[in-house]
Amino acid sequence: MSRLLDSLPVWARGLRARLVFAFLAIAALGAAAAAGASYVSARTTVLKYAQDQVMDSAKNAVNQLAPEISFPPTQATLDQIASRLPGGTSIVTYRSMTSRPLGYRVQDIPAELRAAVRDRGVLMFQRGQSPGGGSSTVLFVGMPVMTKKAGEEPTPSGMEIYLFRDLAGPAQQISALANSAWQTSLLALPLAALLALLAARGVLRPVRELRGATRRLAGGDLGARLEVKGSDELADLAHTFNDTAAALDRTVTGLQRMEADARRFVADVSHELRTPLAAMTAVTDVLDEESANLPEDAQIAARLVGQETRKLARLVEDLIEISRFDAGAARLVLTEVDVAEAVRNTLRARGWIDAVRTELPEGVLTRLDARRLDVIVANLVGNALRHGQPPVVATLTASPQWIEFSVTDHGPGLPEAVLPQVFARFYKADSARSRSEGSGLGLAIAWENAQLHYGTIEAANAPHGGARFTLRLPRLARGIEAQAFEEGGPW
């Protein structure tokens, strides 16, 4: 069945086409059967009527003549009877005598008919080929003329009368009937097609609605529901769809709420930590200044406290930054920026200008958020310096639509398993270095910043083995600015 379907042209594979074909096939079969049946019955009726007419009229004519027929007959009597019977095709026989032939001979009458008349002694008829050699079918009638003795059943008198009639008239009538039967049954086909289309519409409309609702659901409209009409299988399907959508809606809403709660919690905690941390930072600064006056153990402790406090402060800042992205509160502040200049400023500010080999073409001007670019560049270069091996190469390329900034180191590169995960929060590629300098949020923040510019960061390994991070930013048109403000970012 499926192979048959695949062999059809595309337009004929749809449910509608299949329904129409099926209906038409059924209608055609039904019409053919009806036409055939009506044809057969019409043929039977017409033929029977025609034959009965021929036989009755012949029998009546003989009945009329018989009392005046001299018996036993002479040749002259036989000739006379033959000439007086209507139709002009009669042959009268009595024992071995035969009336004078009228254009055809007694041999032209089917022998089996004559034998049957003689044997059975009743009127017989038979359809056969015309004795004139024509192709048309004729009706042969054979009649034994009966005689009756007192107190007995009638017996054949020995006189037999044969005649035939052309059936061209009835045949024509029959073919006319057949044609009209066919034509009438052909009228059923357009009707069947119409019905099929109506039926298809009834089936396909719910299917179309279901498709539309599914698309809306897939597009994120969890409120998409179908109107349930009737109580058929399609209504069942709609009902099931609604239940599914409702369950999905509940689940997703619950998850979203939980996620929002978790994020709010992180944001709140980060904010709460800020104040005590500010105080702690101030204290540790004092401790650092005073550490020279402390005993050696206390010096070490003070330095340790200072380091960890600064790390904690950076972690809290990063967390607050991330929670701004999550809350959709991050905004782009776009200005016209010379990218090469911006990258150099970042490296200079961090004191990395001598540690990084740069290939920065001048004059690449594009609109972007300079502070966020600084964050991204600092993060990528910082990672390369911390985790990779020198030389670290920073390259800028530009096309009319995109700028591409990549940072490559010459270290061992990233393991394949790690590549998909590097932008995840708190993901540490090197489990042995879980107490690294970073907060574990740097790449995540860089990625969010790139996203805010409708850009991407890709992590990959350079052909020579080092890790390569590539930032791709679209050169934003002016329209993006307003859009970014309206939407609160790309997501």
Partner 1 sequence: MVKRLTAVLAALALLAGCGVRPTPPVGGGDGPRGVAEGPTLYFLQGNRPTPVVRKIGKLGDYTTALRELFNGITEDDPAGLSSALPTSGVGELSASVTERNSVEVEVNGIGGSPLPMNSWAVNQIVCTIAARHLASGGIYGVGSVLVNGTSARCPVSV
Nearer to partner 1, 131 or 411 (CB): 131
Nearer to partner 1, 146 or 266 (CB): 146
Q: Can you read off the two tokens belonging to residue 10?
A: 């595309």
Instruction: Identify residues 314-353 at the interface with partner 1 (CB under 8 A).
Output: none
How far CA 265 is from CA of 260, 269, 323, 365, in Å, comes to: 8, 6, 10, 40
Site string for partner 1, 22-61 (x = CB under 8 A): -------x--xx--x--xx--x---x---x---x---xx-
Residue 274 found at the interface with partner 1 (CB under 8 A):
no
Nearest-approach distance from CB 188 to partner 1, in angstroms: 16
Q: If we measure between CA atoms, which residue out of 35, 402, 288, 352 comes closest to residue 183?
A: 35
- One-letter amino acid at 146 equals M
Residue 128 found at the interface with partner 1 (CB under 8 A):
yes
| Region of 56 on the Ramachandran plot (φ > 0 left; ψ -120 to 50 alpha; else beta) | alpha
Strands (E), 148-217: 155-166
How far CA 398 is from CA of 140, 226, 235, 361, 471, in Å, comes to: 105, 50, 57, 9, 12
Q: Which residue of 120, 205, 271, 357 would you call a contact of partner 1, by CB under 8 A?
A: 120
Residue 63 found at the interface with partner 1 (CB under 8 A):
yes
Residue 151 found at the interface with partner 1 (CB under 8 A):
yes
Residue 129 found at the interface with partner 1 (CB under 8 A):
yes
Backbone angles phi, psi at 109, to 5 degrees: -80, 135
- Structure letter (DSSP) for residue 107: G
Q: Which residue of 24, 66, 422, 460 would you call a contact of partner 1, by CB under 8 A?
A: 66
Residue 483 to residue 35: CA distance in whole angstroms: 71
- Structure letter (DSSP) for residue 355: T
Q: Which stretch binds partner 1 (CB under 8 A): 148-156, 301-309, 317-325, 452-460?
A: 148-156
Instruction: Identify residues 443-482 at the interface with partner 1 (CB under 8 A).
Output: none
Residue 137 found at the interface with partner 1 (CB under 8 A):
yes
Q: Which stretch binds partner 1 (CB under 8 A): 116-124, 262-270, 276-284, 405-413?
A: 116-124
Q: If we measure between CA atoms, which residue out of 192, 253, 263 comes closest to residue 34?
A: 192
Instruction: Identify residues 177-206 at the interface with partner 1 (CB under 8 A).
Output: 178
**Dihedral sign, Cα of residue 78, residue 84, residue 86, residue 89:** positive
- Site size toward partner 1 (CB under 8 A) is 61
Q: If we measure between CA atoms, which residue out of 488, 388, 475, 379 comes closest to residue 423?
A: 379
Q: Which stretch binds partner 1 (CB under 8 A): 68-76, 353-361, 381-389, 482-490?
A: 68-76
Q: Which residue of 13, 95, 105, 148 would you call a contact of partner 1, by CB under 8 A?
A: 148
Strands (E), 268-425: 335-338, 356-359, 365-368, 392-398, 402-408
Q: Which residue of 17, 42, 116, 337 would you call a contact of partner 1, by CB under 8 A?
A: 116
| Residue numbers at the binding site for partner 1 (CB under 8 A) | 29, 32-33, 36, 39-40, 43, 47, 51, 55, 59-60, 62-63, 65-73, 110, 112-113, 116-117, 120-129, 137, 141-151, 154, 156-157, 159, 161, 167, 170-171, 174-175, 178
